[in-house]
Amino acid sequence: MTLHTYLTMSKNQLLEFYDELNDSVLEETPTSQKRLFQKRESKKQVADARLFVRAQEISREFKFTYKAARFEEAWLLDSLVEIAEHQWISDVLRKVKGGKEASVYLCTPGVEVDAPLLAAKIYRPRMLRNLKNDSQYRTGREDLDENGNVIVDDGALHAMAKRTAFGEEVRHQSWIAYEFTTLETLHAVGADVPKPYAMEKNAILMDYIGDPSNPAPVLNAVNLDPDEAKSLYERVLCNIDLMLKHDRIHGDLSAYNILYWNGDITLIDFPQVVIPGSNPSSWTIFLRDVTRICQYFSAQGVDCDARDLATDLWTSHGHKIVKEVHPKYLDAEKQEDRRVWKKQN
C-alpha cells in the first residue's frame, strides 16, 4: 500500500485501522469496554486515526520479515524507522506478544548492538490507550520527556494539566520514558531485568529472553521443584529490595511479569513504577506486589507471609507504613479530613 493510499483513506478505512489493532485484545475485554471501543461514529477517533496515518509520511521504507497487517505495518514503520536508521536492528522476525498496552517483537540486531537477539516493545498509539487509570502510579512522579529528562517546559506542563491532545501525548511519552529509565537504572545495579539499548518514539529496544523459536514463558506458567522455588523466591526478594534501594516499586509485580528461562528470572514491564517516598499509596501498592509474589511461591511450596515480609522490607529502607483512608470515610467539612485527603492525593 502506498503513502498516497494511506493519506486518502475514507472514514470507514480509518476505523478499520482501529479494528485491526484491537483484534488481539478485544476477546479479553469486558463487554462494556468493547462497546466503548466500537463507537465508530466518534469524530475524535477518526481525527486521531488520520493523524496517526499521516505520520507515515515522514517514515522511510523499512523492509522486514514479519508480515504484519497493513495498519500494523504502518505503525511498526513509524515506531522503528529511527531505530533501524541507527542500525540498532536489522530485521523484525515476528510478534512475540500482543497486549492492551504494547506488543513485543523479536528482532535481529544491527551492527551497533552486540546481542544475539533483541526485543522491541512498541506501545500502542496514544489514541488507543486509556491513560485515565494511570494516576495512582503517576502521583509523586516528575514527568519525563522523550530523552528521559524531567520536563520543565511550562507549556508542556500546562498542556498536561489541561489534558489537551498535546498534553496527553507528552503524558504518553513520559509513561514510556519511565520504563526505559527504570530499566537503565536497575540493569546498571545488577537487577534481573532486560538490558535496555534505545528508546525512540513509542518503542523501547532491549534484550530478548528466549531462543529464536520460543520466547521465555512467564513464571506463572512454570511449576518449580521445591529447591528451585526457594532459590528463585529469594532472588525475587533481592530484586524487590534492590528496587526499593533505588526508590522504585514495580507497581504491577506478579508471576505474570517475571520471565523464566534456563533457571533464571527476568523482571519486565516497568512503566507504572511508583516512587515510594512521594506517592501516598506507595505502601498499599508495595504490599500488593509482595502479596502477589507470595501467592505464586506459596503455591510452589515456599513458606512465606506477605505482610510480614513486606513490612520488613519496607521499614528496612526507612519508609513508614501509612494506611490510606478511603474517601467515603472523610468529611469534606472537617479541616483534618481535608488535610488527609490532600496528603493522599
Instruction: Pull the grid cell for residue 137.
Output: 502510579
- 39-69: string of b/e by CB count within 10 Å (b at 16+)? eeeeeebbebbbebbebbeebeebebeeebe
Nearest to 129, CA basis, from 272, 322, 311, 285 = 272
Nearest to 97, CA basis, from 25, 205, 151, 33 = 25
Look at residue 327 in the predicted model and tell me its pLDDT. Answer: 63
Hey, what CATH topology would domain 60-207 get? Phosphorylase Kinase; domain 1 (3.30.200)
The alpha carbon of residue 48 and the mean position of all alpha carbons in its chain are separated, in whole angstroms, by 22
Instruction: Pull the grid cell for residue 147.
Output: 530523552
Which DSSP symbol is given to 251?
S
The verdict on pTM exceeding 0.75 is yes
Which helix (H) or strand (E) segment is 171 a member of?
helix 165-188
Nearest to 53, CA basis, from 98, 99, 11 = 11
- Count of beta carbons in the 10 Å neighbourhood of residue 321: 13
287 vs 132, 207, 283, 314, 340, CA distance in Å? 23, 29, 6, 9, 21
The helix/strand/coil state of 116 is coil
- Tell me how far apart the alpha carbons of residues 12 and 40 are, in angstroms, rounded to a whole number: 9
Under 8 Å between Cβ of 240 and 257: no
- Tell me how far apart the alpha carbons of residues 241 and 296 are, in angstroms, rounded to a whole number: 18
Give me the residue spans of the domains in the chain: 60-207, 219-316
238 vs 35, 157, 191, 225, 338, CA distance in Å? 43, 36, 8, 20, 38
Burial class from Cβ neighbours inside 10 Å (0-12, 13-18, 19+) for residue 241 reads middle
Per-residue pLDDT in tens (0 to 9) along the chain, 345 residues: 444 444 445 545 555 555 555 555 455 555 555 555 455 445 445 544 554 554 445 345 677 899 887 678 778 888 888 898 899 999 999 999 988 889 999 999 999 999 999 999 999 876 555 555 688 898 999 988 888 888 888 888 888 888 888 888 888 888 999 999 999 999 999 999 999 999 998 899 999 999 999 999 999 999 999 999 999 999 999 999 999 999 999 999 999 999 999 999 999 999 999 999 999 999 999 999 999 999 999 999 999 999 999 999 999 999 988 766 556 545 676 666 566 566 655
- Count of beta carbons in the 10 Å neighbourhood of residue 78: 22
Under 8 Å between Cβ of 273 and 257: no
CATH class for the domain made up of 219-316: mainly alpha
Burial class from Cβ neighbours inside 10 Å (0-12, 13-18, 19+) for residue 263 reads exposed
Burial class from Cβ neighbours inside 10 Å (0-12, 13-18, 19+) for residue 293 reads buried
Look at residue 21 in the predicted model and tell me its pLDDT. Answer: 53
List, as own/partner pairs, every contact residues 326-334 make where C-beta atoms lie below 8 angstroms and the sequence separation is at least 24, other chains included.
Answer: none
Look at residue 37 in the predicted model and tell me its pLDDT. Answer: 47
The helix/strand/coil state of 301 is coil
> HSE of 285 in the Cβ direction (CA atoms, 13 Å)?
25
- CA torsion, ordered 195, 55, 110, 257, to nearest 10 deg: 30
